[in-house]
Structures are given as C-alpha cells and as structure tokens.
Copies of this chain bind each other. A is one copy, B any other.
Amino acid sequence: MTRTTNPTGATVQADEAQHHLTQTEPASLIERSLHVMRLALEQAVQQLEAEASLPDIADPERLRRELEIPLGAEGRTVEQVMAMVGRVIRSTPSASSPRFLNQLFGGREPVATAAEMLAGLTNTSMYTYKVGGPQVLIEQEVLSRMAHLAGLDAGQGTFLPGGSMSNLTAMLIARNEALGDVREHGLDGARLTVYTSDQSHYSIRKNAGILGIGRANARIVPTDDEGRMRPDELERLITEDLAAGARPIMVNATSGTTVLGAFDPLREVAAVARRHGLWLHVDACLGGSFLLCPELRPLLDGSELADSLAWNAHKMMGVGLQCSALILARGGLLARHLNESADYLFQAHEDELNPGTRSLQCGRRNDALKLWAAWQLLGDEGYAERVRRQRGLVRRAVALINADPDLDLVLQPACLNVCFEVRGADARDICTRLDEERRLKIGYGETKGRRFIRLVCVNPELDGSDLAMIFEEIHTVARALCR
C-alpha cells in the first residue's frame, strides 16, 4: 500500500510464501480512489444535466436488462462499472428534479450533498470519540441547536435513521419510563395505550406493534376540519380507556401531518397529557423546521412542554436522507434505556463524548456533518429565509389554485402541503397518468371523504415558472382523462 508518510521502513520477515499480498498492485488505494472520484464527477455532471426531466422506468424488465443489473461470477473494469452506475443514476428519479413533488423532501443544499460525500470517504462511525473525533462534537452542536430551537435546552439528543425510528425510540423510552423494570423483565401483560390523531404518521401504530404494546392499542384521536387533533376527544378516549382498565402511557402530537400538513395544538394536548401523567411526544418530523422561522414558530407553540420531539432535517432543510433528530427533554434518558456495557467499544473518553451509549444502533453513519455544513452556509438567518421561500411558494400555488375555476383548494395550507382537487377528474387517475407520461412525480391524498392531489412545496429552487409548468401538466392530463 503506497502512502505519503510511512514511519517505518521495516520489511516482513515471515511467511512470504502463500499469498498475493506481495504482488504489485496496479495503483495505491489513494490513486484508485482519486481516479474513481474523478469518474464519479463526470457522471455527476451528466446526472445534473439530466435531472430536469424524469426517466423512463415504465418497464422493470427492460430496465433490468438494459442497465445490466444481474450480478455474475466475473468482474468488470472500474471504467465499465462507473459508466453502469452513471446510467443507473440517470434512470433514477431525482428528488431535485423540478418535476419531483412526490415526497416531503425535495431539492438539495449542494454543500450538504458534498459534505455527505466527504463523510462517506472517511466512513466515520458515530459511537465513540476515539473513532468519530470532531464528528461527535459536530453532532452535539447540531443537536443542541435543535434542542434550543424547540425550547428543550436542558435536553439531550441523538440521530436516528429516519422519523419512524425516532418515533420508535421516543415510544420505547415513554414505555419504559412509565413501567419500571420492563427493560429488564419484559411487559407484564397490562393493556397499555398510546394516543395519536387520525392524521398522524403510520409509524406510531406500527411502532406500537413492534414494542409489544399492540397496534390496536394505538388509539386514534379524531381531528377537526383542518386535520388537527381535538384535545376534547383525546380527553374522552383516555377517560374511556382508564375506565376500561387500560394503562395510558403516551400521547403523540404531530407538528405537520403527512398528508394535510396540520399542526396539532401542542399546548392544549400537553395539558391533557400532563393531567393524566402521560408522556408527550411531538412528531415534528415535517414541521419541526418551522422552528427556524420566527413568524412560523407559533404553530409549534408548546413544544417546550414535550418530553421528546422528533425532527427530520432531511425534509425541509435540504439535506439528504437520512437526517432525523430525536430530542429528549431531560438528559440521561437515552443512556438509561439504550446503553449496554460493551467493553470492546467504549474504551476511551467519558460517556458524554461517546454517543454510542445513547443510540438505538451500534455502528451508526454520520448524519450530522451534512446538516452542519448547510447550517454553516446559511446561518440561522439563511435557514429562516429558506423556509420563507418554501412558504412563499405555497402562497403562490394557493393563488394559482384560487384563480383557477377548475381547481378546488381542500384547505388553507398550514405547512408545505398544498392539497387540491381537479374538478371532473379523479386525483388518483391524474397522478398515475402524470407518472406514466413522465410529466410529474406527484401523489394524492385521501382523508375526510375526499381524494385530492398533494403538491409538496419543499424545494425552494422552484419558482413561478415551475409552478406554472406543474399546473399546466396537471391540466393537460386532466383534460385528456375527461375526454
């Protein structure tokens, strides 16, 4: 292995016979890494030029064949493989395409993408300071910033591989804190209940199944016309369950629901939770980023009353999957419910610098550097401005819908989800056709007896002409369907 500094010139004494280790390598790892990275940059250039349009993925069998997906016994050259990877990437829908409006993420902050690339080069794992070094400090900085914005300065956080996992970890800690020795000895068969709105993310119910609580014990609280949890209904359900002998343990309030983008009234929900001694988790995976913007923070009023709060930076903050933070209001809880003594791992430095004592996972990728890079670029002020641009796009889309006699707004958007119907055409048919004809990746929602298109205005790179293009495509397809 060639390298620039090698403090010893020693040669090997033993056992030269049996292997190829002494064969001359065609190039050092460094040279090969650089060569491949230059090839990757070439592919990136082509990809960036291609991402304005959507690729043709209609026929999986054809793709499998044309992209040479099957693996075989024999290898290929680096040049061949990088060309193949490039073709695969150009056949993959890009979340940064102006035609990609399908998810609660989209667009990118280029420095975040680049920082993630560089993090991948060192392949840091985030359990100990010994191997993570300054990445641990960066993670702490970002988490403490997010905790501060949520009004949870005294808390402690961790990064998790997605919002479902952040919610899972919050529910785990809520369960364990309510029940004493469950971590050691398991659940005792008491019927536990958790509360979440009919608009909340499916992971609450799913996680109840995982944690031994049971999906049926994720009690579904009705919402008002805007999709917000009704505190009176929450109170009613808890009272009913208590009367039936259940043991309520947790309320999940959502800040930015998946389909409608609704914000549950945190302060009122917190009052109900507190009255019954229940853990309050806030699933702010989508809406947490409104904490960055002073005029939007009131939608999360009461976040400081949460016991835990989940916030996905990979949604509104322009960093790639995955970047989900979980903040606990009190220090020590993560370690109490997640730490395992592992002598082979935690061999240096105090626990504060070893985040592996506070994480759901063991080996854990570096999710913090990319967010730190984007935050350094934008500053708090730039992030506020970025969210404002997203909201500006929402207002513009609403104006276009209101001015269009063929479109009906489902509700005034509180978040970045703009939900609307197209008169005379089914939203599902429209979205399917838009996808088939490679015009737009956009999804539909169904709730409160209506089915509608959900336009997610999360990519702040979009402008007025993009919106005009988007509505024009929708009209074109709707007209064709009505014929």
Contact = CB atoms under 8 A, between A and B. Distances in A.
A162 B52 contact: no
A299 interface: no
B320 A13 contact: no
A39 B114 contact: yes
Total copies of this chain within the assembly: 2
A482 interface: no
A259 interface: yes
Given A1-B466, A111-B81, A340 B119 contact: no
B114 A36 contact: yes
Interface in A352-411: 353, 360-365, 369, 372-373, 375-382, 388-389, 392-393, 395-396, 399-400, 403
A68 to B, nearest CB: 8
CB-CB nearest 9 A-B residue pairs: A189-B189, A212-B212, A186-B214, A12-B464, A161-B161, A19-B392, A3-B52, A75-B379, A15-B399
Interface in A182-230: 182-192, 201-203, 205-206, 208-217
B81 A49 contact: no
A441 B48 CA distance: 39
Contacts of A69: 134, 137-138, 141, 372
Given A121-B47, A131-B103, A142-B71, A183 B209 contact: yes
Interface string A1-35: 10111111111111110111110000001101111
A396 B12 CA distance: 9
5 contacts: A37-B113, A75-B378, A105-B363, A161-B322, A162-B364
Given A89-B122, A131-B102, A396-B14, A344 B259 contact: yes
A396 B121 contact: no
Contacts of A73: 379-381
B76 A379 contact: yes
A30 B49 contact: yes
Interface string A84-120: 1110110111111010101101011011011111111
A414 interface: no
Given A12-B396, A123-B321, A81 B373 contact: yes
A152 interface: no
Contact of A343 (B18, B53, B211, B446): B446
A123 B94 contact: yes
Contact of A98 (B3, B111, B118, B258): B3
B379 A74 contact: yes
Contact of A382 (B8, B75, B345): B75
A86 to B, nearest CB: 7
A16 to B, nearest CB: 7
A1 to B, nearest CB: 5
A243 interface: no
B6 A381 contact: no
A472 interface: yes
Contacts of A12: 396, 400, 464-465, 467-468
A145 interface: yes
Contacts of A84: 373, 376
Interface stretch (A231-239, A274-282, A427-435): A427-435
A38 interface: yes
Interface stretch (A55-63, A262-270, A300-308): A55-63
B63 A11 contact: no
A361 B162 contact: yes
A123 B94 CA distance: 7
A412 interface: no
B47 A110 contact: no
A151 B410 CA distance: 52
A428 B137 CA distance: 25
Contacts of A362: 162-164, 201-203
A165 interface: yes
